[in-house]
Structure 1
Amino acid sequence: MVTTLEDLSDLRNTRFGQPYPRHGLSLLWWFADDCVDRISNRGRMMARYDPEDGYFGFHEFHNAEDLLPDTDLTYYEVGNLSNHHHHLGSLPHDVCKNYDSDVPDSNTDRIIVSIDSAQNGDIWFDEVYVTEHSDEDDFNEMCTYHISQDLIELIRDLEWRDFIRQVVIKPRRRRRR
C-alpha cells in the first residue's frame, strides 16, 4: 500500500529528495511546473509532453518489483541524471546541477507516472509517484509515495525558492561550547 501525500507538510515529513545532493525536490517542482500543462476542473492533470516520446529521459517503467499498484495503464519513469544527455530535451539545470557520478545519492530520486490517453489525443497523467533507489537497480518500497493532484496544484502555485523553503528540513547546527 503506497501512502498518498496530500500537502507540503506530508512531503516534508517523508524527507524525499533530501539531504543534499539529492535532486528529488527540484525534479518534483520541475514536473509540477513544466510537465503538467493544466489541471482540469475535475482534477485531471493534462500532460504538456507525451512521456512515450522520451522527452527529458522519460522511459517505460515495467513495475517488475510490484512497487506500484497493478494497472492496465502504462507507467513511465523520469529523473535518471546519469544519462540525461542521451535523450530528447534535457532536464533543466536546477534539476541536474548537483549531479556527481561519484556520489550515488545525487542520482537516487525518480518520478513515476501512469498515463491515460483520451480519445481526442490528449495525454493525461493518471497517477504520480515519487520514489528513490535503494541500490543501483531496485527501488525502496518504504520510500515510495503517491502524490495527490492537490499537492501537484500546491506545488504549481509556488515559485521554486518558496517551495524549497517550505519543504527542506534544515540541518541542526551543532552548539559551540
Structure 2
Amino acid sequence: MKWKTILCCFFLCFTWDENVASPRIFKSIAELKNVADSFCYPRHGCKLLYFAAHKIFEKNLHLYKNVDPRRGDYGFHSFKNHEKILPDPSSGYFSMGNLNSKGSSQLDPYVMHDFYQITDPRRNMDRLIVSLSRDSELSRMFLTAHHLKKNTFDPDQTIEIAPKLIQEIQEIHDLLQYLTELGYKFGDGEIDCIIRNFSGRPKRTAVNLETKCNLYTEVKLDIKSTEKGYAKITWEGIPDKILNTIAYIGLYKNADSENALVKVNSPVPKSGASPTTIPLNPGLQLRLVKYDTVNGINRHTPFLNGSEFDEANRVLPTEIKGYSASLQLYTKDGYACARLYIEKSFTGWKKEFGASWVGFYTSNQDNFDKHKQRELCTKFTLILNKEEDYAIDYDIYEYQSKLSIGPGVQARFMLNDDKGSEKARTVSWEAP
C-alpha cells in the first residue's frame, strides 16, 4: 500500500484549481492584431497598452523611477482577483484604466479623449493589470474588460501581454503608426480622432484619414493658470473650415456640468488665450461649442470636449531622497498646495522629519531662503483615504498655502534649516 500512498501524494501535489483562468499569451503586434478590434475604439485597451509601454515601463521593463502603482499613480488600484480571472501571483496585482477613478486624470489626453467625446458604455470597460517583482520589474501584464451588464470581469475578454510585446510597442513612437499596425479600421470611422456631426455621434461618411486626424490633432484645448491662480482658457489650431461655425469656447466646472462658468464668444481666432476669474480647481473642463440648426431651430452643440483638469497638472509626486516618502505640488481653489505620501512602513517619520518643512517658491531659481511660505511637515493634515484599494501602503498628508498657484511655482522639501538639506524639489508649475 505504500506505493499507493506515494502515488496519491503525487497527484495531490500536482493538482490545480480548474476555476483559475489561463489567458492566452500574445507575444507580438502581429498576434495582437487578431484581437485588436476587441480593445480598440470605442474601447481604450489599445491605448492603455501604448501608454504603459511608453510612460510606465522602461526598456528593461522596470518601472520608471518616478512611477509607483502602490501610491495610486495614473489611477492604479490594488486588484484582488476575487473572480479568479488570473493566476494568483506571489506579489499581488495592480489595475489601471478606470477613467472614473481617482488618479486617472494623470493619463495622457489621447487615453482620455474618447471618454469625453462619446457616451458609449464601452468607452470605459477595459483594464490593464500588472504584477511586479520585488525590484519593480514587470512580472506579468494582462488586458481585461468589465461585463457591460455586470460588475464583474470577463474571462473571455482577458489576455496576457508578453514582455517582448511591450518592448516591441516601445520601439513605436507614434500613436497613429501603432494603431495602424494593429489594423485599426480607420475607413469606417472607428478611430479616436473623431469628427462629430451635429447629433453628437461620429460621422460615418467617407472622410480622408489624413483630414480626419488633422482636424482632431490640430485642435488643442488647455487650461492654464494666471499669475493669481485663476483659470486661463487657451486654444490653438482651430481649422479655418470650422472657424465660422464656432459659437463659443466654454469653461465648465466638470464633465457633468451643463452650464458654462465663463465663455469666450464668437468670433474666436484660430489660436488664443483668455484669462478668467475662476479659481483653478480639479475637474475644470473646456468645450468647443458649435452652432447647430435642426428643423429650423438654432442651438449650440459641443464639438470637442477637453479633458478634466488634473489637480497636479498631470505631474507625479517627487521622491524625497533617502526616505520612503514623496512630495507633490497640486492646486485647490487657485492656491499652491503640497501633499506628502508617507509609506506606512516608515513608522518613525514624525521623529525623522521633526524639523523638516516644505517651502513654496515662485521660481526654480529662488534661493532656499526665498520661499514665499513654509510649513513644518508634522503640521500637515492627515487625509482619510476612503478607497480601500487606493494607495493602501501610504498615509497621505496635505497642506494648502496662501500662495496663488501660477507658472513657475514649485514646492521643496527641506530636512532642516541647513541650506544643503534639500531632499526634494517638484517640477515647476507649467514647466515646458
Could you list the per-position Cα deviations for residues 140-177 of structure 1 after superposition, in whole angstroms to 9, with x for gaps in the alignment?
Answer: 1011111011100110000212111110342776xxxx
Hey, what does 1:74 align to over in structure 2? 92
CA contact (8 A) 2:42 2:114 kept: yes
Could you list the per-position Cα deviations for residues 90-139 of structure 1 after superposition, in whole angstroms to 9, with x for gaps in the alignment?
Answer: 11100000004832100011100002122xxxx11211111111135211
Amino acid at match of 1:32: A
Hey, what does 2:138 align to over in structure 1? 125
CA contact (8 A) 2:59 2:167 kept: no
Hey, what does 2:12 align to over in structure 1? none
SS at match of 1:37: coil
Higher strand residue share: 2
Higher helix residue share: 1
Could you list the per-position Cα deviations for residues 68-92 of structure 1 after superposition, in whole angstroms to 9, with x for gaps in the alignment?
Answer: 0012211000001122xx3286111
Hey, what does 2:114 align to over in structure 1? 98
CA contact (8 A) 2:47 2:111 kept: yes
Structure 1 stretches of 4+ moved >2 Å: 86-89, 100-103
Q: Does the alignment pair 1:113 with 2:98?
A: no
Q: Does the alignment pair 1:168 with 2:183?
A: yes
Q: How big is the shift at 1:31?
A: 0.4
Hey, what's the Cα distance between the residues in 2 that align with 1:143 and 1:171? 23
Superposition pairs for residues 12-161 of structure 1, below 5 Å?
12-15=33-36, 16-18=38-40, 20-39=41-60, 45-48=61-64, 49-83=67-101, 86-87=102-103, 90-100=106-116, 102-118=119-135, 123-135=136-148, 136-159=150-173, 160-161=175-176
Instruction: Identify if the C-alpha distance between structure 1 residues 165 and 70 changes in structure 2 by more than 3 Å, giving closer, same or farther.
Output: same
SS at match of 2:58: strand
Structure with higher RCO (Cα < 8 A, 6+ apart): 1
Unmatched segments (≥5 aa) in structure 2: 1-21, 189-432
Unmatched segments (≥5 aa) in structure 1: 40-44
CA contact (8 A) 2:131 2:140 kept: yes
Hey, what's the Cα distance between the residues in 2 that align with 1:78 and 1:102? 20
Identity of aligned residues (%): 27
CA contact (8 A) 2:59 2:170 kept: no
**Aligned residues: CA RMSD:** 2.0
Instruction: Give the TM-score normalised by structure 1.
Output: 0.84
Hey, what's the Cα distance between the residues in 2 that align with 1:155 and 1:88? 22
CA contact (8 A) 1:52 1:59 kept: yes
Hey, what's the Cα distance between the residues in 2 that align with 1:30 and 1:125? 15
- Number of residue pairs matched? 162
Could you list the per-position Cα deviations for residues 17-41 of structure 1 after superposition, in whole angstroms to 9, with x for gaps in the alignment?
Answer: 22x22111111101001100231xx
Amino acid at match of 2:177: D
